[in-house]
Homo-oligomer: A and B are copies of this chain.
Amino acid sequence: MSQSSLKQEIRRRAKNFQRVRAAHQTEVAEDYVELIDDLIAETGEARVVDLADRLGVTKATVNNTVQRLVREELATSQPYRSIFLTPKGQSLARKSRKRHELVRDVLVALGVDEETADADAEGIEHHVSKETLAAFRKFLGRGE
């Protein structure tokens, strides 16, 4: 391998790691909005305590993160009231849910049991590129 293509290869690998780090910065937000949207659909509203129960964190942690979602214009909240999604938050929630389901369905199609597939998808979903999602859809015979 030539000098310059070695350097290129090093930069390519560095970019992969940088992409993973970038994904980590958005994944908490993605999981929260997906969950908030679920709760609103299922129970009519999203409350701090419900998010805390479902995420397995304390309500103080939820409060902190919700403030971040508000700052990022994904959610709105008034003190002591339940949490709402902005249009931007809703569209991220829908996108995240679809992606989660697609990843889970691919795992199931590969022979993973549903519980495990759903659990693994919770982490995997945040690291799947558009290209890979397209391949997944094709593999399942959807979209194209």
- A residues apposed to B, CB below 8 Å: 10, 12-20, 23-24, 31, 53-57, 106-107, 110-113, 115-120, 122-124, 126-129, 131-132, 135-136, 138-139
Give Cα A136–Cα B107 distance, bound, in whole angstroms.
9
B119 pairs with A16, CB closer than 8 A: yes
| A127 and B132 contact, CB distance less than 8 A | no
Which residues on B sit within 8 Å (CB–CB) of A116?
129, 131-132
A124 & B122 in contact (Cβ 8 Å cutoff) = no
- What are 18 A-B contacts defined by CB distance under 8 Å? A13-B54, A14-B55, A16-B118, A16-B119, A17-B31, A17-B54, A19-B122, A24-B24, A107-B135, A111-B138, A112-B132, A112-B135, A116-B129, A116-B132, A120-B127, A123-B127, A124-B127, A124-B128
